[in-house]
Amino acid sequence: MALTDKKKEMLFILGQFLMETDRKFAETPLQVSVSKAEFIDIIKDMKAVSKTERTIYKDLEDLQQKKYLIYDERDLRISKKGLNEYENITKDLERLLQLAESIKASNIRFKRKIQTKLK
């Protein structure tokens, strides 16, 4: 069963969060682990989501039940299945951003005369 848009959004936020924290501590011999409660507090403070804490927790639980993420010993991680889905989401996002870039007003060239009207 495919993920809903809200679950994909939560998986994307978690993936981005983990990638950025790994990047932040890349030069040190440290591995970052985060609990669900800490993750929820951080994304709420960053205003990454407008959901309530309980809703975020339920979304994480659903992702865990569908085996997109792993939570053991107070450590929140993305599973291999979740990482594959995260990569698919980022590929779709990149494709959409490329489309948006190519359809900017400066790139639009009309081949015929366009009739314009006053607003």
List the domain boundaries for the chain. Answer: 5-91
pLDDT at position 1 is 62
The residue assigned the tokens 């979304």 is 59
At the top level of CATH, which class does the domain 5-91 belong to? mainly alpha
Tens digits of residue pLDDT in 76-106 = 989 999 999 999 999 999 999 998 888 887 7
DSSP bridge pairs for 77: 70
Which parts of the chain have pLDDT scores under 70? 1
- DSSP-assigned states of every residue in 36-61: HHHHHHHHHHTTS--S-HHHHHHHHH
The CA-atom distances, in angstroms, between 46 and each of 5, 72, 73 are 21, 25, 25
pLDDT at position 60 is 93
CB 59 within 8 A of CB 11: no
